[in-house]
């Protein structure tokens, strides 16, 4: 029997795979796009479960203020920042510099 989270997690991964290189989105933006506005934390759980899935760029998902709140779930605490910086996104004190300029909102760029 499948867990009830499996379908939601799969939907989250589909959205995350569409985040363009050099852009980021938030847990809440993904939840809202999927019709589960209050489920940002569940999106976070999906991201935690995505580690090891090379085709899911989990480093591009941050919290609503651009903080790298999931960084401790990567192989090393600075890997998330390194991956973002490799894509041209500057990070200072675990927060994306000019977050609004890099923010990608799935509701504005995707259709269900």
Nearest to 60 by CA among 6, 12, 92, 107: 12
Q: How far apart are CA 102 and CA 21, in angstroms?
A: 10
CATH of the domain at 60: 1.10.10.10
Which DSSP letter does residue 4 get? T
pLDDT band at 54 (very low <50, low <70, confident <90, very high): confident
> What pLDDT does residue 5 have?
65
For 75-89, the pLDDT digits (tens) are: 999 999 999 999 999
24 pairs with which residues across the strands? 103
Average pLDDT over every residue of 37-42: 93
**β-strand pairing of 25-26 with 91-92:** unpaired
Which DSSP letter does residue 24 get? B
Higher pLDDT residue, 109 or 5?
Answer: 109
> What pLDDT does residue 34 have?
95
Whole-model pTM? 0.91
Domain ranges, residue 16:
5-109
Q: How far apart are CA 5 and CA 27, in angstroms?
A: 16
Give the chain's domain count. 1
3-state percent helix, strand, coil for the chain, nearest multiple of 5: 45, 10, 45
Nearest to 101 by CA among 38, 45, 22: 22
pLDDT of 40 > 50? The answer is: yes
């Amino acid at each position: 029997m499948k867990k009830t989270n499996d379908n939601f997690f799969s939907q989250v991964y589909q959205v995350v795979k569409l985040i363009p290189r050099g852009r980021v989105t938030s847990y809440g933006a993904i939840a809202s796009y999927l019709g589960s506005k209050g489920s940002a934390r569940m999106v976070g759980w999906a991201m935690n479960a995505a580690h090891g899935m090379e085709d899911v760029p989990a480093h591009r998902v941050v919290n609503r203020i651009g903080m790298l709140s999931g960084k401790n779930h990567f192989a090393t605490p600075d890997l998330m920042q390194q991956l973002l910086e490799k894509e041209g996104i500057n990070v200072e004190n675990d927060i994306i510099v000019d977050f609004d300029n890099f923010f990608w909102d799935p509701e504005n760029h995707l259709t269900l």
